[in-house]
């Protein structure tokens, strides 16, 4: 199958997302030097992310916990409102739409969540769970049509349609995740956001679910945005990879480029930390210190405090994504100046 | 004499539905300073095995058969008083989630000093000094100030370092680490694993590493046990198991790893899922998912067969080995 990788399906432009952590209005008031002052503190979860998702690709977003990858996914799906910036789907801005106007897009964009134990309603049978979105998005369909559709998706994810009368607790983790995938596929979406869909599963089951997702992509021409912290999965599954650190994009490239020759110092450290079967002992690039808190962001490049190549420019100026000679996009002054 | 010797261990859980055997026929020996990996999927019994070594299984579970010999004493038959002098002292345990292990209302110093004063008769000041020294060993910066901090003031990686430092307090002979890095990020995981490897080598401590991550096992351990449905189904040198697994389950598990696959191609998968321990099939527990199962597999539980440096519990080992060699010869012949 030849995948055309030139048309962009989803555009994220200058996306920012802040979460207030100082409580409601009264909690923010402080008495200071004889005056009442208002203090506000924010967690800066996403800080200026620009990203294009191309038709037919599987874009993986990776990073450590707290880097904002799930927030990006949720903002794309409209589960969170961006603080600023825009998200467009096929050229149409969707981040400021009303719920009603968004309806056709909700049918095109579906989400698979991390934990299949929490994302399936324990009081609904599998067929009810699967029929609900079909009925909701196709109100004119008859009961028989809905039933056929449910059977079809159950069959396509390898769950016996006769098990539809069962409840989620009667299934194993892997089967539940198959049902979550079936629910996403039930409305024939074009674009699926998968937020850590396999990290709650065992290795042998992970392989089954990954294969299922790859088959579905081939059969249905899906585009994936795949959020994960497991880099070895990325290498296998992703066509392109975006590496995030503290709410910003460090590096973006095809998975071959990124795994064969990572350019950003953080990507290099991250890649070297994957435990490989071939290694005898851990042999990784050590980073100094820890991820700074996203409440008080470091000035300049967010990575400068831990970067072995940081200089004065890194402490002041925020690096922009630039295209390197190897074809990847890297946000790093040192790479830009040719120091690494 | 081996440092730890587990003989024919069987652990049962008495449930309302009846007895469930969580572990059966576990036999192994560990020498001083040896690093062992126990791998398997969730529900295979690897954590129960870790717990049962220091008799930490809580009701309704109990050791129904077998013995755990540590320096000539049977830990499975000891009373609470005797166990207290072993746990945390000679054999210490590191758990998965450092936030659950550390007491949130006590400072780190209090927790470390408490452990030391329990096992040794020393002054509080001496205990504090030892605690500082152990925190330095796990590369915690400014350990004196850390001693007066509470667990919530530390990051996940730092907390796990503190837990490791507590594990090392009494200079134990064995450390049992139950998924010590599962709750941590990859970069932190790499640091913690390197630290544990270094500490075990330097202090000549035996390590029992329980994990589902074969990559971690291959980096840290010398020998590996693969568990499936409450049994060890393959054991041997880690190198051999990773490079040349003999049991069809181990082979499947290794081939299912994304790093073994070809980019963009389907991954190798093992069909089905592990049977629940309440309904482990007669014969080989893996036979329903196995491509090589024969008639005998559904009647008799396979015994260990020596194959290369490994011990494998599979009826088909010899045949598989022969087949593999035939394939290798064919490839060689084809190349010529």
Percent of chain B with pLDDT over 70: 98
Q: Quick one: closest CA in A to B252, which residue?
A: A204
Q: Is the dihedral of CA A301, A294, A274, A205 positive or negative?
A: negative
**What is the spatial distance between Cα A208 and Cα B268, in angstroms, rounded to a whole number?**
8
Task: Identify the residue among A236, A244, A290 best suited for mutation to test binding to B, counting B beta carbons within 10 A and taking the highest.
Answer: A236
A248: left (phi over 0), alpha (psi -120 to 50) or beta: beta
Give the model confidence (pLDDT) of B217-267 as tens digits.
999 999 999 999 999 999 999 999 998 889 999 999 888 888 877 777 788
- Residues 21-60 (A) with a CB less than 8 A from some CB of B: none
Q: Which domains does chain A have, with CATH numbers?
A: 8-27+41-336 (3.40.50.300)
According to DSSP, the β-strands at A58-62 and A223-228 are: parallel
CB nearest to B197's CB, from A65, A231, A282:
A282
Tokens representing A270 are 């991250």
Chain B residue numbers touching A215 (CB-CB < 8 A)? 266
Are B160 and B98 a contacting pair, CB within 8 Å?
yes
Interchain contact, B263 vs A284, CB within 8 Å: no
Could you tell me which residues come within 8 angstroms of residue A33 by beta carbon, excluding any fewer than 6 positions away? none
Q: Decide if A158 touches B, using CB distance below 8 A.
A: no
Tell me, yes or no, if the pTM score tops 0.80. yes
A3 has a chain B CB within 8 A of its CB: no
For residue A5, is pLDDT > 80?
Answer: no
| B5 contact partners, CB below 8 Å, separation of at least 6 | B28, B29, B30, B68, B69, B70
Output DSSP code: residue A298.
P
What pLDDT, on a 0 to 100 scale, did the predictor assign at position B335?
Answer: 57
Q: Are strands A191-195 and A223-228 parallel, antiparallel or unpaired?
A: parallel
Would you state the pLDDT for residue A3? 43
Bond before B113 cis per omega within 30 degrees? no
pLDDT score for A224? 94
| Cβ contacts of B252 on chain A, cutoff 8 Å | 204
Measured distance CA(A34)–CA(B204) in Å, rounded: 63
The structure tokens 């369909």 sit at A141
Dist. CA A130–CA A150, nearest whole Å: 6
Assess B99–A contact: CB distance below 8 Å, yes or no.
no
Alpha helix ranges (H) inside chain B: 46-53, 80-86, 98-101, 108-119, 124-137, 143-147, 156-168, 186-203, 214-220, 238-243, 248-255, 317-335
**Which residues of B fall within a CB distance of 8 Å from A279?**
215, 218-219
A239 interaction partners in chain B (CB closer than 8 Å): 264
- Give B250's contacts (C-beta < 8 A, 6+ positions apart): B226, B233, B234, B241
**Residues in chain B closer than 8 A to A277 (CB atoms):** 214-215, 218, 242, 254, 257, 259-260
pLDDT tens, residue by residue, B273-320? 888 888 888 889 998 888 888 888 888 889 888 888 899 999 888 888
CA–CA separation, B312 and B320 (whole Å):
12
Region A24-37: mean pLDDT is: 85
The complex's ipTM? 0.78
CA distance B8 to B65: 7
Find, in chain B, the residue whose alpha carbon is nearest to that of A284: B190
In this predicted structure, what is the pLDDT of residue B209?
95
Q: What is the longest distance spanned by two Cα atoms in chain A?
A: 72
Q: Between chains, do A277 and B214 touch, taking CB under 8 Å as contact?
A: yes
Write the pLDDT tens digit of every residue in A216-230.
Answer: 999 999 999 999 988
Quick: pLDDT tens for B291-303.
Answer: 888 888 888 889 8
Q: Which of A49-53, B35-39, B60-64, B155-159 has the lowest mean pLDDT?
A: B155-159
Return mean pLDDT, chain B: 88
Judge: B189–A208 Cβ closer than 8 Å, yes or no. Answer: no
Given a cut of 80, is residue B330 above it in pLDDT? no
């Amino acid at each position: 199958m030849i995948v055309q990788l030139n048309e962009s399906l989803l555009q994220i432009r200058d996306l920012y997302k802040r979460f207030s952590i100082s409580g409601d209005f009264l909690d923010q008031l402080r008495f200071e030097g004889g005056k009442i002052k208002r203090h506000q503190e924010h967690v800066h979860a996403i800080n200026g992310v620009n990203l294009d998702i191309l038709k037919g690709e599987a874009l993986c977003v990776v990073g450590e916990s707290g880097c904002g990858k799930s927030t990006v996914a949720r903002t794309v799906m409209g589960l969170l409102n961006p603080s600023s910036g825009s998200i467009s789907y096929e050229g149409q801005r969707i981040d400021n739409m009303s719920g009603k106007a968004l309806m056709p897009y909700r049918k095109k964009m579906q989400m698979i969540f991390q934990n299949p134990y929490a994302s399936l309603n324990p009081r609904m049978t599998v067929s009810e769970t699967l029929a609900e979105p079909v009925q909701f998005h196709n109100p004119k369909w008859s009961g028989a049509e809905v039933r056929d559709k449910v059977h079809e998706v159950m069959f396509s994810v390898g769950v016996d349609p006769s098990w539809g009368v069962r409840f989620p607790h009667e299934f194993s983790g892997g089967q539940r995740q198959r049902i979550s995938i079936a629910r996403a596929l039930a409305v024939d979406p074009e674009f699926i956001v998968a937020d850590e869909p396999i990290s709650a599963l065992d290795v042998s089951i992970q392989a089954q679910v990954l294969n299922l997702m790859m088959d579905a992509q081939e059969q249905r021409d899906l585009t994936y945005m795949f959020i994960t912290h497991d880099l070895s999965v990325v290498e296998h599954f992703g066509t392109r990879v975006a590496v995030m650190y503290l709410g910003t994009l460090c590096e973006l490239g095809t998975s071959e480029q990124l795994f064969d020759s990572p350019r950003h110092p953080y990507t290099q450290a991250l890649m070297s930390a994957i435990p490989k079967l071939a290694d005898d002992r851990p042999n990784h690039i050590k980073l100094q210190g820890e991820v700074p808190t996203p409440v008080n962001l470091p000035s300049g490049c967010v990575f400068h405090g831990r970067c072995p190549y940081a200089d004065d420019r890194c402490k002041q100026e925020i690096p922009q994504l630039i295209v390197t000679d190897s074809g990847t996009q890297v946000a790093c002054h040192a790479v830009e100046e040719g120091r690494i | 004499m081996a440092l730890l010797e587990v003989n024919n261990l069987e652990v049962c859980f008495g449930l309302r539905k009846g007895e469930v055997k969580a572990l059966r026929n576990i036999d192994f020996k560990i020498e001083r300073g040896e690093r062992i990996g126990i791998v398997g999927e969730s529900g295979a019994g690897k954590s129960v095995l870790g717990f049962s070594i220091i008799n930490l299984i809580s009701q309704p579970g109990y050791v129904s058969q077998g013995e755990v010999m540590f320096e000539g004493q049977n830990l499975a038959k000891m009373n609470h008083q005797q166990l207290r002098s072993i746990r945390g002292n000679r054999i210490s345990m590191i758990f998965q989630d450092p936030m659950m292990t550390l007491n949130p209302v006590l400072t780190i110093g209090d927790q470390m000093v408490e452990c030391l004063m329990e096992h040794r008769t020393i002054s509080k000041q001496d205990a504090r000094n030892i605690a500082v020294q152990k925190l330095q060993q796990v590369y915690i910066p400014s350990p004196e100030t850390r001693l007066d901090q509470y667990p919530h003031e530390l990051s996940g990686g730092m907390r796990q370092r503190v837990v490791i430092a507590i594990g090392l307090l009494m200079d134990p002979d064995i450390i049992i680490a139950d998924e010590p890095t599962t709750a941590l990020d990859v970069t932190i995981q790499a640091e913690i694993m390197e630290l544990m490897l270094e500490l075990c080598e330097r202090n000549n401590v035996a390590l029992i590493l329980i994990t589902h991550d074969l990559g971690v096992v291959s980096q840290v351990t010398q020998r590996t046990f693969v568990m499936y449905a409450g049994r060890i189904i393959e054991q041997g040198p880690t190198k051999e198991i990773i490079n040349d697994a003999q049991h069809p389950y181990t082979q499947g598990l290794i081939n299912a790893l994304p790093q073994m696959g070809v980019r963009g191609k389907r991954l190798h998968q093992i069909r089905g899922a592990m049977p629940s321990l309440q309904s482990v099939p007669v014969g080989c527990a893996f036979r329903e998912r196995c491509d090589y199962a024969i008639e005998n597999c559904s009647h008799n539980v396979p015994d260990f067969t020596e194959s290369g440096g490994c011990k494998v519990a599979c009826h088909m080992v010899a045949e598989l080995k022969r087949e593999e060699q035939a394939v290798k010869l064919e490839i060689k012949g084809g190349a010529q």
